[in-house]
């Protein structure tokens, strides 16, 4: 859920910032930038969960 919030916020912010200043290609960059920003809360959570599962023996690494 938090990843979706980050994605929406980044997409909105980027479009507002570049909509009047750049071309269509600049606005199109909002989509990949939103995906990357959605990873901001997801990567630490993934690391947290995998470490937790590793301690419990649920992951064989």
Give the tens place of pLDDT for each residue, 4-24: 888 888 888 887 887 777 777
Mean pLDDT across 23-40? 83
What Cα–Cα distance (Å) separates residue 60 from each residue in 17, 36, 54?
A: 46, 29, 7
C-alpha torsion sign, points 47, 30, 9, 13: positive
In which band, very low, low, confident or very high, does the pLDDT at 29 lie, cut at 50, 70 and 90? confident
Relative orientation angle of helices 2-18 and 30-56, to the nearest 10 degrees: 160
Whether 24 is covered by a domain: the verdict is yes
Residues above pLDDT 90, as percent of the chain: 15
What is the domain extent for residue 14? 2-56
Whether 61 is covered by a domain: the verdict is no
**Strands, E, within the chain: which ranges?**
none
Domain count, the chain: 1
Distance CA 44, CA 37 (A): 13
pTM for the whole structure: 0.62
Whether 26 is covered by a domain: the verdict is yes
């Amino acid at each position: 859920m938090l990843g979706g919030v980050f994605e929406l916020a980044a997409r909105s912010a980027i479009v507002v910032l570049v909509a009047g200043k750049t071309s269509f290609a600049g606005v199109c960059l909002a989509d990949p930038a939103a995906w990357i920003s959605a990873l901001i809360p997801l990567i630490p959570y993934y690391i947290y969960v995998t470490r937790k599962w590793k301690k419990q023996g649920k992951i064989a690494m």
